[in-house]
Structure 1
Amino acid sequence: MRGCVIHGADDLRVEDLPEPVAGPGQAVVAVRYGGVCGSDLHYWRHGGVGDFLLHEPMVLGHEVVGTVVSYGRGADGPAPGTAVAVHPATPCGACPECLDGRANVCRDTRYLGSAARTPHVQGGFAARIAVPADQLRALPEGLGLRRAALAEPLSVALHAVRRAGPVEGKHVLVTGAGPIGALVVAALRAAGAAAVTVTDLLPRALEFAASAGATTLVRADEPADPGRPDEVDTAIEASGAAAGLDTCLRLVRRGGTVVQLGMLPPGMSPFAGNLVVSREIELRGALRFDAEFDEAIELLAREASFDALVSAVVPVERAVEAFALAADRSQSCKVLLDFGG
């Protein structure tokens, strides 16, 4: 069984792994597609994500879809052979955050392909994986596995839009048109935003944002770009760059809301904090998602336009090539690994 294992910075290997066995409460899933995420790229390039450093080899991946193979003792769910998406989080269910209905910030969660704890939580980039059965979501009729592979990152986008508050009829700014930024655009349009302005440094990234429904595209490195708004109602920062946050704070209206979705570099990040005070701006964080996963699957089933955001599908044997392509935002949006039938 083939799988993608990260051993350290610049050390990604496609290896033979043992076939998983479903334990109590678990299901075995035959993975078809896995989306390469920004965090996967960080493990590949740097050997860690922020403060979460690799201490042992780890199977990467948390954006996976496939078909049910079997169940372990006491487990139940969609029938074997059913196409499913896998929710990557296993919250503890007992901490104050879980009890408050905010399982996405659970202090003791387990997340596929994460080095946040040791032993690390092995991920989903393998031909077969064993996961808790209650993390499986059957795909609606008509939703293919290729498009369904966007369910996890779309859930992240939907949660960020929810954190922004009501956006219907509003003008929203999105800084950063990577895969998450483009999906934020789609989530905003689905939520009724009247106008969505997107900024980025790369023309190709802006093209993907346009295919997701952006109404205005702005080159971030051109201050005189005629599309740059004087003011917006709400802003979502999806680039993970301090400059993006600065743009959001300077363009959002007084009393408006800014959502920081992109993960900023470790350590201190300078930002125009005085504007938060003088304009009474609400600055909110957005981390992962919870129930939005089911909402994402429903939205993907309704909208064929999401297909344009899958820019490449690469066989797992060429995983290093796929990662390099995913890291090149001048060419790609969402890159999928194909684990075969």
Structure 2
Amino acid sequence: MLGCVIHGAGDLRVTELPAPEPGPGQALVAVRYGGICGSDLHYWRHGGVGDFRLREPMVLGHEVVGTVVSYGAGATGPAPGTAVAVHPATPCGRCPECADGRPNVCRDTRYLGSAARFPHVQGGFAAQVAVSAGQLRPLPDGLGLRRAALAEPLSVALHAVRRAGDVSGGQVLVTGAGPIGCLVVAAAKAAGAARVTVTDPVPEALGYAAVAGADTLVRADDPADAGWPAEVDVAVEASGVAAGLDTCLRRIRRGGVVVQLGMLPPGQSPFAGHLVVSREIELRGAFRFAAEFDDVLQLLAAKGEFDGLISAVVPIRDAAAGFDLAADRGRSCKVLLEF
């Protein structure tokens, strides 16, 4: 079977891999679509994400959907042929974070397509993948596999919005209109935000934010843009650059909440940290997700406008072209690989 394997920075290969057999407690899934994530692009461009560096070849991908093929010994779940989304995380269930109901920050989790541990956890960009049967989520009525491929990134976005608290009736700022930023817009609107403003220097990216439901679009590189809000109740930083966090801290009201969702580069990042003190701003991190994965499947089933965020579907044999496209923010939002 074909799989998409990263060997190092700039070294992405579509390779013949042995077809897996489901082990005890596992399910075998025929993958139909896999979304190219920002972390996949980081592994491709830089050989790592943050402090997670490649130390061996790794199958990429954690945003995968497909159909159940079979089960290993002792495993049960949706019947073979059922369309499913694959939850990419397997938390340990034993650490203090898991015991505290925060499995998304489990200190010993396994996450598809991640170099956070060694040996690395191989990902889902392959024609078939064997995963724990507990990772399968059958799709609700009305949700097809193509749109369901957004389940993982939408879960990340919804978790960030929930980290902010109650946004209903509030003014929300989102810095960064990449795929995650656009999905934060959709999640905030679904949670009742009265107005969502999105900033980005790329006009085409702002166009996708409008598709997601943004009320105001602002060119981040234009301080004179008339759309800049005087202040907002909640700000979500989704660009992963220090300038975005600085913007959030300068635009948030006193006592407001800023959620850092974008992964800042390793090392020190300059931003207006003094404002956290003088304005008593709450700065919260948001990492991956927990129960949100189950919630977003219903949200995706109910809202067809999410289809507009999928800008291309690329056959696995053309994965290199798919990665090039996904990295070009002027030409794409979410790019899917098809197996």
Task: Specify if TM > 0.5.
Answer: yes
Q: Counterparts of 2:101 and 2:211 in 1: how far apart (Å)?
A: 34
Give the deviation of 1:142 after TM superposition: 1.3
Aligned to 2:275: 275
Residue identity in the other structure for 2:298: E
- Where 1:140 maps in the other structure, the secondary structure is coil
Match of 2:62 in 1: 62
| Runs of 4+ displaced beyond 2 Å | none
1:107 aligns to 2:107 (yes or no) = yes
Aligned residue for 1:299? 299
C-alpha distance in structure 2 between counterparts of 1:250 and 1:141, whole Å: 44
Shift of 1:50: 1.2
SS at structure 1 position matched to 2:217: strand
Cα distance, 1:310 vs structure 2:
0.2
Q: Given residue 7 of structure 2, which amino acid in structure 1 is its aligned partner? A: H
Task: Determine helix, strand or coil for the equivalent of 2:40.
Answer: helix
Shift of 1:228: 0.5
Question: What's the counterpart of residue 193 of structure 1?
Answer: 193
Give the C-alpha shift of residue 273 in structure 1: 1.1
1:141 Cα offset (Å): 1.3
Aligned residue number for residue 89 of structure 2: 89
1:21-36 counterparts in 2 under 5 A? Answer: 21-36=21-36
What is the distance in 1 between the residues matched to 2:267 and 2:169? 37
Distance in 2 (CA, whole Å) between partners of 1:49 and 1:254 is 33
For normalisation by structure 2, the TM-score amounts to 1.00
Whole-Å Cα distance in 2 between the matches of residues 298 and 241 of structure 1?
32
Distance 2:64 2:143 in 1: 14
How far off is 1:119 after superposition?
Answer: 0.5
> Could you list the per-position Cα deviations for residues 66-105 of structure 1 after superposition, in whole angstroms to 9, with x for gaps in the alignment?
0000001111100000000000000000000000000000
1:334 aligns with 2:334: yes
In the TM superposition, residue 329 of structure 1 has moved relative to its aligned partner by 0.4
Q: Which whole-Å CA distance do the structure 2 matches of 1:179 and 1:311 have between them?
A: 10
Measured after TM superposition, the shift of residue 51 of structure 1 is 1.2
> What residue is the counterpart of 2:260 in the other structure?
260
Cα displacement string for residues 105-163 of structure 1 (whole angstroms, at most 9, x for unaligned residues): 00000000001111100000000000000000000111000000000000000000000
Q: Report the Cα distance in structure 1 between the residues aligned to 2:199 and 2:52, rounded to whole angstroms.
A: 29
Q: Secondary structure at the match of 2:21?
A: coil
Output the amino acid matched with 2:42: H
Q: How does 1:152-167 map to 2 (within 5 A)?
A: 152-167=152-167
CA–CA separation in structure 2 for the residues paired with 1:276 and 1:104:
26
State the match for 1:139 in structure 2: 139
Aligned residue in 2 for 1:210: 210
The alignment partner of 1:163 has SS state of: helix
Q: Distance in 2 between matches of 1:233 and 1:195?
A: 10
What is the one-letter code of the residue matched to 2:238?
A
2:153 alignment partner, SS class: helix
Q: Distance in 1 between matches of 2:171 and 2:56?
A: 46
Q: SS state of the match for residue 263, structure 2?
A: coil
* Unmatched runs of 5 consecutive residues or more in structure 2: none
Please give the alpha-carbon distance, in whole angstroms, between the structure 1 residues aligned to 2:202 and 2:299: 27
Any idea what the Cα deviations from partners look like across 1:271-324, whole Å, max 9, x if unmatched? 111100000000000000011000111100000000000000000000000000
Percent pairwise identity: 79
Q: 2: distance between equivalents of 1:202 and 1:270?
A: 22
Q: Distance in 2 between matches of 1:255 and 1:168?
A: 17
Could you tell me how far apart the structure 2 residues matched to 1:165 and 1:291 are? 16
Match of 2:288 in 1: 288
